[in-house]
């Protein structure tokens, strides 16, 4: 199951099953996971927090996470050690994530792994779609999926992107029945957002660890690093793995200025003229066959495509 709108039924109970889930998915598309919803979260009003991980890196996915628990147990995330994931080291985050999984009778969680492809294609499309808009869409989806799964949502806390007042008003217009708070540094203010932050960060870290290059590159996680532009290993990866014609593998967010600058330095320069629309109608005597072009087909009768394009999940796309 790889489509971004699918909800996985595979159970993630620990770090091993998390890595198995991530390694079995197509990392060129978004992937979504929602844990089992505890009965107590269906029966009692719940807190729901939302935060992201991996907004700034030039490599890898951005992950949006949510966590939820009954309002009657507001200190539950605190007892598990939840705090702003950026303030914790990797081992501590992994340990807390395992505790969250073990609290499956009182707490649930979900993540959406947003592929680098999705980020780049949206940000570089003809109709620009900003990273803030991608982030808001992910947050809205997490709230909707949790509600559809039966979570009795009462209060929602979200770490903001952009002006919090505007973001909060937007969410309230979509979810008028919920008490919604959008705030800066919510991950260090509200424990339930801290729990969401842990789920998002741990998922991103392990997505990088098990990343499979569809371009057949034999590169380990240690070799390409954290993905942040200041990481020496990430810098070396960008310098070494830039094809002069086709650019970077799908791990790279080629819409980032770091990648664009490297492409200008290392890749061939290509200048494309905007195609002018031909408004002149064809002559009335033109045969219908003139509008079709003969192509070479393989034995199955299907037009073949070079393996390079298949490995990189590149396809022809026509916009109307």
Closest residue by Cα to residue 50 from 155, 172, 175, 206 = 155
Q: Which of the 8 DSSP states describes residue 214? A: T
CA distance 2 to 303: 25
Q: Residues 51, 186: contact at Cβ < 8 Å?
A: yes
> Residue 73, annotated ligand binder?
no
Closest residue by Cα to residue 56 from 294, 211, 255, 302 = 255
Give the phi and the psi of residue 301 in degrees, each rounded to 5. Answer: 90, 0
CA distance 239 to 265: 9
CA distance 99 to 13: 10
CA distance 139 to 98: 23
Joined tokens for residue 95: 């340990």
> Residue 52, annotated ligand binder?
yes
Residue 244, classed as helix, strand or coil, is: coil
Closest residue by Cα to residue 241 from 256, 251, 231 = 251
Burial class (CB in 10 A: 0-12, 13-18, 19+), 267: middle
> Residue 187, annotated ligand binder?
no
Give the phi and the psi of residue 23 in degrees, each rounded to 5. Answer: -70, -25
Q: How many residues does the chain have?
A: 320
CA distance 53 to 213: 21
CA distance 197 to 82: 9
CA distance 3 to 31: 6
Binding-site residues for a divalent metal cation: 51-52, 159
Binding-site residues: 51-52, 159
């Amino acid at each position: 199951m790889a489509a971004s709108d699918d909800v996985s039924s595979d159970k993630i109970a620990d770090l091993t099953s998390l890595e198995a889930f991530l390694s079995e998915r197509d990392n060129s598309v978004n992937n979504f996971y929602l844990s089992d919803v505890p009965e107590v979260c269906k029966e009692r009003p719940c807190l729901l927090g939302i935060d992201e991980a991996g907004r700034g890196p030039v490599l890898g996915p951005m992950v949006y996470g949510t966590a939820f628990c009954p309002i009657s147990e507001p200190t539950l995330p605190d007892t598990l050690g939840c705090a702003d994931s950026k303030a914790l080291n990797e081992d501590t985050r992994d340990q807390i994530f395992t505790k969250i999984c073990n609290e499956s009778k009182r707490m649930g969680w979900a993540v959406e792994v947003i592929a680098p492809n999705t980020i780049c294609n949206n940000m570089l499309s003809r109709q620009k779609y900003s990273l803030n808009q991608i982030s808001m869409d992910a947050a809205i989806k997490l709230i909707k999926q949790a509600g559809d799964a039966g979570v009795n949502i009462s209060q929602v806390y979200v770490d903001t992107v952009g002006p919090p007042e505007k973001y909060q008003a937007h969410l309230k217009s979509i979810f008028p029945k919920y008490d919604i708070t959008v705030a800066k540094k919510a991950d260090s203010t509200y424990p339930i957002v801290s729990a969401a932050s842990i789920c998002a960060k741990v998922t991103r870290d392990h997505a990088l660890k098990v990343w499979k290059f569809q371009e057949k590159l034999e590169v380990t996680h240690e070799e390409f690093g954290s993905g942040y532009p200041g990481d020496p290993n990430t810098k070396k990866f960008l310098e070494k793995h830039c094809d002069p014609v086709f650019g970077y593998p799908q791990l790279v967010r080629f819409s980032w200025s770091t990648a664009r600058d490297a492409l200008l330095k290392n890749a061939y320069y290509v200048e494309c003229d905007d195609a002018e629309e031909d408004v002149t109608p064809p002559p009335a005597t033109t045969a219908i066959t003139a509008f079709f072009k003969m192509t070479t087909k393989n034995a199955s009768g299907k037009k073949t495509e070079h393996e390079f394009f298949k490995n990189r999940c590149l396809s022809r796309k026509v916009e109307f």
